Chain A
Amino acid sequence: MSGYDLAVVGAGIMGATAALRAREGGMRVVVLERDVAGAGASGVNAGTLSLQIKRVGLMPYALVGHEWWRHAGDAIGFKQTGGYTLAFNQREQAMLEDRMRQKRAAGAPIEFLTPREVRAREPALSNRIVAASYCAEDGFADSTRTGTYLRRLLREADVELREHSPVSAIERGFRVTAGGETIEAKRLLIAGGAWTASLAAMLDVTLPIRVRTNTVTVTEPGPVHLHAGIGHATGLLTLKQKPNGSYLIGGGWQGVGSPATGRGRVLAETLLQNLRLARFAVPSVATARVLRSWTGYEAFVADYWPLAGALPGVPNAFVLTCVRGGYTIGPCIGPLVADLILGREPALPLFDPARVNATASPALAAAGR
């Protein structure tokens, strides 16, 4: 039976864009997805594509990823609306100015505006703004369309996608059992988002991945008051209004849950704080009716840098997850990891997973040398 050159676990933005690049490089690729494409973070996030909220060190990746989204365009509901980051007191102003200067130096076209300038451009904003920054490149996409879009790209590129195929066992070399069938592949990329740790564990590799349970809220369509995307100096608010008038409110307020037991739950106290902050920043949000709140899982490691590179102790295995701002950055870093898998030099540095004291069992590590 013929095998694959690469098996990718996870059909989110990470796994799918890596698979596409590997295919471009001539590999025979299969993507194994436990649910449907984009069912994880890629499909349930608030859709923010903002350079202002990216980590300074990830800015070069964000700039590349951003272009991919622009190119995806209407298919993913991409809108380049510009974005503002707001500060409401001196502490926040200091934080804003310091952070945005660094991000500008890292390549994001960010400018500072006075409160009056901001309110002239966006009358719907709070009159308590003390300081603000603006980036014309910022925008958002409709994250609910991600899965359908990725599925189409994979199909057009002749990458085999197996949905509803959760991986239950992985043997080195590799034999991967997913959805009741076993496939063989010379190389393996684990891009399972919040489920990555349990996948790595199938190869006896322990990755100290933790998971945040981020809350997102959508309101009923209605009159449009806000045109640009809105952020907060602390990063604790993202707010945008879609063309039909629905507001999407995020910012990483925590619900509760664990990937092993299914979708997480919203907690009223954190939800209400998120909504209060939104209303404070954009008063017109007040009369919108909340239709739905949900949570999505975001994987991270303690230093908040990605895990992108070789899976420690397992030859020909790779991992890609824990990318903060991963929705924007995925289309950049996925192909970079694929380049590594293809034996090419990635155009930007990757992030060695071995740095996080990832451990493979000694016996296996010895066998791998």
Chain B
Amino acid sequence: MNEHSLRIGNRGAPIHFRFDGKPIEAFDGETVSTALWASGVRAFDGGRTYFCAMGVCQQCAVWIDGTRVEACRAVARNGLDVRSGA
């Protein structure tokens, strides 16, 4: 991890998904929220990437492959289509 990264320590295999069409890099074991956060995405239309971080506040809810889930609970996987709107 370079000195500009928010990530602490080493990571495993890289993962790639899209958020509102934009490519986002994640690493094995990270949630969608973590990947967005580390990529500098702190908010989106209708929500925030992280507030409670435990699936309670629902402010990070996004659409992943047509299903609505909390981004902070969704494990990042290759090829996910993540959207802020339906």
Contacts and interface: CB of A to CB of B under 8 A. Distances in A.
A155 interface: no
Interface in B45-59: none
B13 to A, nearest CB: 30
Interface in B9-60: none
B86 A223 contact: yes
A222 B86 CA distance: 8
Do most interface residues of chain A lie in helix, strand or loop, or is the interface mixed?
A: loop
Contacts, number: 11
Interface string B60-86: 010000111000000000000000011
Contact of A220 (B66, B67, B68, B85): B68
A284 to B, nearest CB: 10
A220 B63 CA distance: 13
A289 interface: yes
A357 interface: no
Contacts of A289: 68
Nearest to A225: B86
A222 B68 CA distance: 10
A222 to B, nearest CB: 6
Contacts of B67: 287
B64 to A, nearest CB: 11
Nearest to B68: A289
A194 B68 CA distance: 38
A222 B61 CA distance: 12
Interface residues of A, number: 5
A287 B68 CA distance: 7
Contacts of B86: 222-223, 287
A223 B61 CA distance: 14
Contacts of B66: 287
Contacts of B68: 220, 222, 287, 289
Contacts of A223: 85-86
- Residue from B66, B68, B85 with most neighbouring chain A CB atoms (10 Å): B68
Interface string A204-222: 0000000000000000101
Contacts of B61: 220
A257 B60 CA distance: 36
A31 B86 CA distance: 47
Nearest to B86: A223
A289 B61 CA distance: 11
Contacts of A220: 61, 68
Contacts of B85: 223
A92 B4 CA distance: 66
A153 B80 CA distance: 53
B68 to A, nearest CB: 5
Contacts of A222: 68, 86
- Residue from B66, B85, B86 with most neighbouring chain A CB atoms (10 Å): B86
A350 B83 CA distance: 56
A220 to B, nearest CB: 7
Nearest to A223: B86
Interface string A271-306: 000000000000000010100000000000000000
Interface in A47-96: none
A282 to B, nearest CB: 15
9 contacts: A220-B68, A222-B68, A222-B86, A223-B86, A287-B66, A287-B67, A287-B68, A287-B86, A289-B68
Interface of B: 61, 66-68, 85-86
Q: Report, nearest first, the 7 A-B pairs whose CB atoms are least far apart.
A: A223-B86, A289-B68, A222-B86, A287-B66, A287-B67, A287-B68, A220-B68
Given A222-B68, A289-B68, 9 more contacts: A220-B61, A220-B68, A222-B86, A223-B85, A223-B86, A287-B66, A287-B67, A287-B68, A287-B86
